[in-house]
Structure 1
Amino acid sequence: MSDSDLIVDITLLRDTEKQLGLIQGEFQSISGWERELRASVGAERMVKAMSEFVDNWDRHRREIVEEISEVGGWVGSARRSFEKLDRELTEKMKQENH
């Protein structure tokens, strides 16, 4: 096998993709907490303030989830591309050695 200028850690890409999925899931499951927060606050003024906060947080959370999903897609695409390239290069080397 020859030296290469490019070294790709497929395990790191796979782990990163998995971790991004877990983070995305955590952000998506926060909505239950928001409902509990609204229910546990008593004073009407406080309920209004917390509701505004939760609504803003909900909008920004959706944006974060979308961005995490997009980055996860890029990581997954890079991983699949490098795995495919690795298979193709391995096959080519096998053919050349026969």
Structure 2
Amino acid sequence: MSDLRADTKRIRECSRALQRIYHSFTDRADPAADYSAAELGDKRVVDAFGEFADNWKIHRKDLAGKIRKLGVITWEAAKSYDAIDAELAAALRRQDARAGGGSR
């Protein structure tokens, strides 16, 4: 029989970090906003930056959804590991009580 160990505290930390990343992805403004040719040096750079921003918005939404989903999965995994551990411990305590009670 192999030993299964899950660091549920670490899994929850991972889930919270993913949630922060998700919010960072969804709360960020347009990366091309508020930049002018004077700041970037050339209108072509501004246009390229704007094109990047348009593509980024599309991909950011997709990535944010995947990050959110992974955050939920890790949170639920930690909950499941804890629940299984508690159920197993309770079952073992019941078995120990039955074995101890029957040997007297």
Please confirm whether the aligned pair reaches a TM-score higher than 0.5, indicating the same fold.
yes
Number of residue-to-residue matches in the alignment: 93
**Ranges in structure 2 where 5+ consecutive residues have no aligned partner:** 98-104
TM-score, structure 1 length as denominator?
0.79
Please give the per-residue CA displacement for 1:26-80, whole angstroms capped at 9, x wherever unaligned: 111212x53xx33221465444332211110111111110111121122122111
Equivalent in the alignment of 1:38: 33
Equivalent in the alignment of 2:70: 71
**Ranges in structure 1 where 5+ consecutive residues have no aligned partner:** none
The one-letter code of the counterpart of 1:22 is: R
Are the counterparts in 2 of residues 21 and 72 from structure 1 also a CA contact under 8 Å?
yes
For residue 22 of structure 1, the aligned residue among 20, 23, 27 is 20
Distance in 2, matches of 1:75 and 1:13, equals: 6
**52-61 or 4-13, which deviates more:** 4-13
Distance in 2, matches of 1:22 and 1:39, equals: 25
Percent identity of paired positions between Structure 1 and Structure 2: 27
Distance in 2, matches of 1:87 and 1:4, equals: 18
CA RMSD of aligned residues (A): 2.0
Larger Rg: 2
